[in-house]
């Protein structure tokens, strides 16, 4: 089974991040600019939380507390599930399913080296399966086909 490092090689290691003191509107604007549903919350180089569209909807919008002064630190998730580059994609999928989360920060020690989503994993696995199928079809068809 493939691991996180293989997925990051294909996907890339771009990280969308905000500080804990970033205003909610600025955080959402940054996420929208990159078509991302989540941003890592970084205090300098340290991962301190994750902020998602889901956090905004459940913790602010639905409670009608939408204010320009609300900071990311007031609603970010701090109970984080992280993985390393060596974690198998199968393990990642199990964690995401059990914990009902969609994104996993990837750490090398304390350093963030990427973030993966359930969509990234599914896309990677489908591409791998298609590659194997094409190779098997070529093998079966034989040379010259």
How do residues 8-42 score in pLDDT, each as one tens digit?
998 888 899 999 999 988 999 999 999 999 999 99
Top pLDDT among 127 and 21 is at: 21
How do residues 88-102 score in pLDDT, each as one tens digit?
999 999 999 999 999
Distance CA 145, CA 142 (A): 6
Distance CA 17, CA 26 (A): 11
Domain boundaries, the chain: 4-141
Quick one: pLDDT at residue 136? 75
Q: Are 47 and 39 in contact (CB under 8 A)?
A: no
Instruction: Calculate mean pLDDT across residues 78-95.
Output: 95
Distance CA 51, CA 43 (A): 13
Distance CA 103, CA 53 (A): 12
- Per CATH, the homologous superfamily of domain 4-141 is CBS-domain (3.10.580.10)
DSSP states along 60-76: TGGGT---TT-BGGGT-
Distance CA 26, CA 32 (A): 10
The yes-or-no verdict on residue 145 having pLDDT over 60 is no
Residues in the chain: 145
């Amino acid at each position: 089974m493939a691991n996180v490092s293989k997925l990051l090689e294909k996907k890339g290691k771009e990280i969308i991040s905000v500080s804990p003191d970033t205003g909610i509107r600025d955080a959402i604007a940054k996420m929208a600019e990159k078509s991302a549903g989540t941003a890592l919350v970084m205090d300098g180089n340290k991962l301190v939380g994750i902020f998602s569209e889901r956090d905004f909807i459940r913790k602010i919008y639905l409670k009608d507390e939408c204010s320009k002064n609300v900071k990311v630190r007031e609603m970010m998730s701090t109970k984080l599930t992280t993985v390393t580059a060596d974690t198998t994609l199968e393990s990642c999928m199990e964690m995401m399913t059990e914990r009902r989360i969609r994104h996993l920060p990837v750490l090398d020690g304390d350093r963030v080296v990427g973030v993966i989503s359930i969509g990234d994993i599914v896309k990677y696995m489908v591409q791998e399966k298609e590659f194997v199928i094409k190779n098997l079809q070529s093998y079966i068809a034989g040379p010259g086909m």
